Structure 1
Amino acid sequence: MNNLGSLERAIMEVLWDSPVPLLVRELQGVLNDGGGRPLAYTTVQTVAERLVRKGLLSRTTDRKAFRYSASRSRGEHVTAVMLEALAESQDRAPVLSCFAQSVELDDALRLLEELARRTGGHRHPGGPGWVPPPSS
């Protein structure tokens, strides 16, 4: 995940996998169950608040505490990261071509199916194999 530290990534993973929003102490407990050096409550709280400011987490009040949940799904986040990386390129064609050649065949076929669904099976106007859309 682009531009996230290791604890930020760990918090996001826990919250994406959680069916309900978590309190900081619940989040801390899950993170500390993973082994490694125990994390302080204030450390988890500070990083969760940083993720709220980044727009990755939302929080709701629960008595005198907050419950945290992911603002978007894991898939939506990964998609945003991919689109952000693509937007950084002046010429997207070589990037898209390299990506298409790099993904596994099953993923390439899935992507083709989604693109065909999005375009109604039509190709780029004027490109090879282009079929004009049916007139209404």
Structure 2
Amino acid sequence: MAHLGDLERAVMEVIWDADGSLTAYDVKDVLEADGRDLAATTLLTVLSRLDKKGFVASDRTARPHRYHALGTREAHMAELMHEVLGVAGDRSAVLARFVGGVSAEDQAVLRRLLEG
């Protein structure tokens, strides 16, 4: 699975939060409102990397190009969790540690999900 760097993650958060596709300038505006000052070329490079990693796709028929997520935030997070479990020497210990550290509400959700 492809990993996200800090700036890539920030860009993906903006795209995941969007109702539709965004231009690089739309993403830039949101990130700048959050205090990040980015050159447009930097953002276009990040979007190109995210495209190559399979996180976004772009509509190149539109000018400027519009980007949308290829998967959900939740799917990405679940894949990260599977990746961690896949390399764990003792999966049971990792799961026990994880479950022991979640809130009672999250434990209840896990129980419901496991019971099916």
- The one-letter code sitting in structure 1 at the alignment partner of 2:35 is G
The aligned length equals: 115
Distance 1:73 1:63 in 2: 23
User: What does residue range 46-57 of structure 1 map to in structure 2 within 5 Å?
Assistant: 46-57=45-56
Q: Which runs of 5+ in 2 are unaligned?
A: none
Q: Deviations over 1:95-127 (max 9, x none)?
A: 11111111111101100100001xxxxxxxxxx
Distance 1:42 1:21 in 2: 19
Q: Which has the larger radius of gyration?
A: 1
Q: Deviations over 1:10-33 (max 9, x none)?
A: 101100110011111221122122
Match of 1:18 in 2: 18
User: What does residue range 1-136 of structure 1 map to in structure 2 within 5 Å?
Assistant: 3-36=3-36, 38-117=37-116
Deviation of 1:94 after TM superposition, in Å, equals 1.0
Moved more, 10-19 or 25-34: 25-34
- The one-letter code sitting in structure 1 at the alignment partner of 2:81 is M
Distance 1:48 1:113 in 2: 38
- The percent of aligned pairs where both chains have the same amino acid is 37
Higher helix share: 2
- The one-letter code sitting in structure 1 at the alignment partner of 2:111 is L
- The one-letter code sitting in structure 2 at the alignment partner of 1:99 is F
Q: Which runs of 5+ in 1 are unaligned?
A: 118-136
Q: What SS does structure 2 have at the residue aligned with 1:52?
A: helix
For normalisation by structure 1, the TM-score amounts to 0.77
- The one-letter code sitting in structure 1 at the alignment partner of 2:33 is D
- The one-letter code sitting in structure 2 at the alignment partner of 1:23 is T
Distance 1:102 1:57 in 2: 33
Distance 1:29 1:56 in 2: 20
Distance 1:52 1:15 in 2: 12
- The one-letter code sitting in structure 1 at the alignment partner of 2:30 is V
- The one-letter code sitting in structure 1 at the alignment partner of 2:5 is G
How well do the aligned residues superpose, as a CA RMSD in angstroms? 1.6
